[in-house]
Amino acid sequence: MNNIKLAICVLIIGTIACKSPEKKQVSSPNWKYEKTISLDSIGPVGIALDSDENLYVSDADNNRIFKINQDGKVLESFENFDRPMHISWGDQGLAIAEYGSDQIVVLHQEKKDTANSKFEFDAISGVDAYEGGYFAADFYNHRITCQTEDSIFTVGKQGKAAGEFTYPTDIQIFNQKIYVADAYNHRVQIFDLNGNHKSTLAENEKINAATGLFVTNQNIFITDFENSRILVYNSMDSLSQILTEGLDKPADVIVVGTKLFAVNYHGRSIAKYNFN
């Protein structure tokens, strides 16, 4: 009789255990943390990839740019910038948002040039090359600027509504769309190339300062600076994974094939992930 009672108890407990709700998971977590690469004294803010698949990182604290390989080995360094923030690689070379001077500086074969701009920036924080010109995030003017061979215009003003910004920090042009890290509205906004608002991402994900972004055919990656996270969205604009391991106030992120590199501003390092 006792054995029967015991069997019933085991059966009940087993049934309850099987029906216990699982911890909520986002679907298809495929990015796996590999390692953290120390950058020693570098306080990295921006990261970019050149045509030879070398990485560049901006060191805003020390006004430098570093060219490194994908294992973090420094290949070259460039000095005397004025608070370089986000950077991007384009036809002209490495475009640098120089926050302190309000200029887009282009680094090409160890030479520095200043891009001609018709805008009066107030703390340019992000830049992306496009059709002979540049799109830029204009931090204190709470707007995006566009200056290409064919067009010149601005997008947005200070505010929280769709199409408005509160301290935009990063920008990328991808597949005929403008992606903007709207840092202190804690979201990413997406526009067409004429500056018409199309959609907004991550508004309800409790981001605390969306400082950087990177867009691929499959994903949109958003750095959540204060919470030390990277949010990964799929092509359907759904949250597919949240990365936390190895992240310490990440300011920017880039994906190279199946590898992801996130620059940790506070951690003074790069967190590397692989896609499995």
Establish if 88 lies at the interface with other proteins (CB under 8 A): no
Q: Which of residues 49-68 bind other proteins (CB under 8 A)?
A: 60-61
Which range of residues in 49-57, 143-151, 191-199, 242-250 is near other proteins by CB under 8 A? 242-250
Under rule CB under 8 A, residue 251 binds other proteins = yes
In this structure, the number of other CB atoms found within 10 A of the CB of residue 37 comes to 18
The single residue among 64, 67, 143, 249 that binds other proteins, judged by CB under 8 A, is 249
CA atoms in the 13 A half-sphere facing the CB of 69: 3
Secondary structure percentages of the chain, helix, strand, coil, to 5 = 10, 50, 40
* Placement of tokens 């005397």 in the chain: 80
Q: Are 233 and 220 in contact (CB under 8 A)?
A: yes
State yes or no: residue 143 binds other proteins (CB under 8 A). no
Beta bridge partners of 136: 127, 145
Q: Does 243 bind other proteins (CB under 8 A)?
A: no
CB of 135 or CB of 225, closer to other proteins: 225
Between residues 133 and 164, which has the closer beta carbon with respect to other proteins? Answer: 164
Residue keyed to tokens 């679907």 = 27
Q: Which residue has the tokens 């003003």?
A: 157
Q: Which residues bind other proteins (CB under 8 A)?
A: 43, 45, 60-61, 83, 85, 99-100, 123, 125, 139-140, 167, 169, 183, 206, 208-209, 211, 225-229, 244, 248-249, 251, 265-266
